[in-house]
Structure 1
Amino acid sequence: MYKLMIVDDEPQILEGMKRILDWERYGFVRIETCETTDEAMSRIVDLLPDIAIFDVCIGKDLGYETIRKLNEFHVPTKFIIMSGYSEFKYAQEAIRCGVRDYLLKPVERTKLQHTIEKIIVEDLHGSIGTMTSESINRDPVLNLAYDSLSKLVNRIVLMVKTEYAQNITLKSVAERFQMNSTYLGQLFLKETRMKFSEYLMAYRMLMAQDRIQTTDEKISYIAFSVGYNNLNYFYTHFQSYFGKSPSELRGK
């Protein structure tokens, strides 16, 4: 029913944004991504997505400048800007372009969810039906409501969901928060009753399961795509987590 375009020059961000919400439940039947503003310009004019999410800086280009040009073409798309910068100048320019929201990275799921729901209801004249049901607001690994988790743990969880395919570790996360990794690990364990490494592995396993069951991609490619450079290591974790091999899960 709806079409979505995500524009960012970082592939891992694009992948993370595709998975940050259950877009299909909101009625999005098509999700496209672009890594350059030139590509975004032509594809948005062709596709006419209902919603487009732009990073504020795409290479050397500014997302809101591209939105300004697209507005001149009178495309009906509703725009959202996401940015790692909180500078008022960027937000001010984005507002002048008529964007529906300006979200800081890492994008918080609940804020994005509320923005998407608002656009669907107010601009697209649709309804969100059961979109605010418990299943959407619960973490698939922890089986806990996101609003029951602290802001810190929510941010850690979001980092995993957007960067699980990369070499993310507790140490690298702690460095970004300027915290001691041991202390951060203890906080995460206390609140979730799961070690950070266990959570990361479990999320990678769920992502692998989804791709195994919905695509014909080679197992080796799927293993690499969810953050495993060592295929044997992937098979060991998969067998331990699901009690069956990837091939058995796929039914081949």
Structure 2
Amino acid sequence: MYKLLIVDDEPQILEGMKRILDWKHYGFDYVETCVSTDAAVSRAVQLIPDIAIFDVCIGKNLGYDAIRQLNEVQLPTKYIIMSGYSDFSYAQQAIRCGVKDYLLKPLEKEKLQQVIEKIIVDDLHGSIGDPQTSTAHLDPVMGVPYDSLSKLVNRILLMVREDFNQNITLKSVADRFQMNSTYLGQLFIKETNMKLSEYLMLYRMQRAKELIQTTNEKIHWIACSVGYNNMNYFYTHFHSYYGKSPSDLR
């Protein structure tokens, strides 16, 4: 369904990018690579990729210069820049080209996944996942396929996955989507059988459990990292959900 172009002058990076995500499960039937900006511009005009990922420095050329050339021919492609440099001027130039995100190398799989999902939902008007039974395409809280939910609810779930450690409220979500909070809340309940606040709490609990079982971080740090500044609330919610304390689970 979708086409992806990855551009980097290091072959090993290209191979890694082809494997970092299960692109086919996201609907990418075509994943092509280029090692130069000239080849990338030529191929992009022919392929018209839905998403193109450019390294910021490709040989002696700059990825965002190639993106500027492609913008001139008005391709509908959505662009991502990856870079080993945190130089603000590079990021600034990328933003001016209209890139969707500027990711630092080595790429974090989860961060790239979030960006790709956001582009699919917001820009390509698709949904995440398919009716396959793979857990990668099931919502971790509800256990239902993402494509069984509306695009709007998928956008809300994506927002939770990206910002679960922030102060998310029904009002803040409604404000972002420029919608009435009462209507949005009713729609969310209708599709998920739970309030947004309940979903957020359950998602945070699952992330907390994952961190407790896979890291040696202190419980206080884990609580803060999943959005809890009040430890009493964290312990209460955790015990209510898992029937044991974080320390007992560990």
TM class, shorter-length: 0.5 to 0.7
Q: Which runs of 5+ in 1 are unaligned?
A: 5-22, 27-55, 57-62, 75-79, 95-102, 113-131
Q: Partner amino acid for 1:152?
A: L
Q: Partner amino acid for 1:81?
A: I
SS at 2:57's partner residue?
Answer: helix
- What is the CA–CA distance in structure 2 between the aligned matches of 1:180 and 1:167, rounded to whole Å? 19
CA, structure 1 residues 224+3, in 2 after alignment: closer, same or farther (shift >3 Å)? Answer: farther
RMSD in angstroms over aligned alpha carbons? 3.7
Q: Deviation of residue 160 (structure 1)?
A: 0.2
SS at 2:136's partner residue?
Answer: coil
Q: Partner amino acid for 1:226?
A: V
* 1:14-33 C-alpha deviation (Å, 9 max, x unpaired): xxxxxxxxx6888xxxxxxx
* 1:184-210 C-alpha deviation (Å, 9 max, x unpaired): 111000001111001000000000000
CA, structure 1 residues 153+73, in 2 after alignment: closer, same or farther (shift >3 Å)? Answer: same
* 1:131-183 C-alpha deviation (Å, 9 max, x unpaired): x6521111010111011110000000000000001111111000001111111
SS at 2:213's partner residue?
Answer: helix
Q: Partner amino acid for 2:98?
A: Y
Check whether the contact 1:106–1:155 (CA below 8 A) recurs between aligned residues.
no
Cross-structure match for 2:105 = none
Are residues 1:90 and 2:78 paired? no
Check whether the contact 1:146–1:154 (CA below 8 A) recurs between aligned residues.
yes
CA, structure 1 residues 147+239, in 2 after alignment: closer, same or farther (shift >3 Å)? Answer: same
2:58 is matched with which residue: 70, 77, 102?
A: 70
Mapping 1:220-231, distance limit 5 Å = 220-231=220-231
Are residues 1:108 and 2:117 paired? yes
Q: Which runs of 5+ in 2 are unaligned?
A: 1-11, 24-51, 63-78, 82-90, 103-111, 122-131
* Alignment length (residue pairs): 157
Show structure 1 runs of 4+ deviating over 3 A: 1-4, 23-26, 70-74, 87-91, 109-112
SS at 1:159's partner residue?
Answer: helix
Is the radius of gyration larger for structure 1 or structure 2?
A: 2
Q: Partner amino acid for 1:186?
A: Q
The percent of aligned pairs where both chains have the same amino acid is 55
| TM-score normalised by length of structure 2 | 0.54
- What is the CA–CA distance in structure 1 between the aligned matches of 2:146 and 2:165, rounded to whole Å? 22
Q: Which shifted more, 132-141 or 178-187?
A: 132-141
- Greater RCO (CA < 8 Å, at least 6 residues apart): 1
CA, structure 1 residues 227+3, in 2 after alignment: closer, same or farther (shift >3 Å)? Answer: farther
Q: Deviation of residue 229 (structure 1)?
A: 0.4
CA, structure 1 residues 227+88, in 2 after alignment: closer, same or farther (shift >3 Å)? Answer: closer
CA, structure 1 residues 68+228, in 2 after alignment: closer, same or farther (shift >3 Å)? Answer: closer
- What is the CA–CA distance in structure 2 between the aligned matches of 1:152 and 1:3, rounded to whole Å? 32
Q: Deviation of residue 72 (structure 1)?
A: 3.2
Are residues 1:233 and 2:233 paired? yes
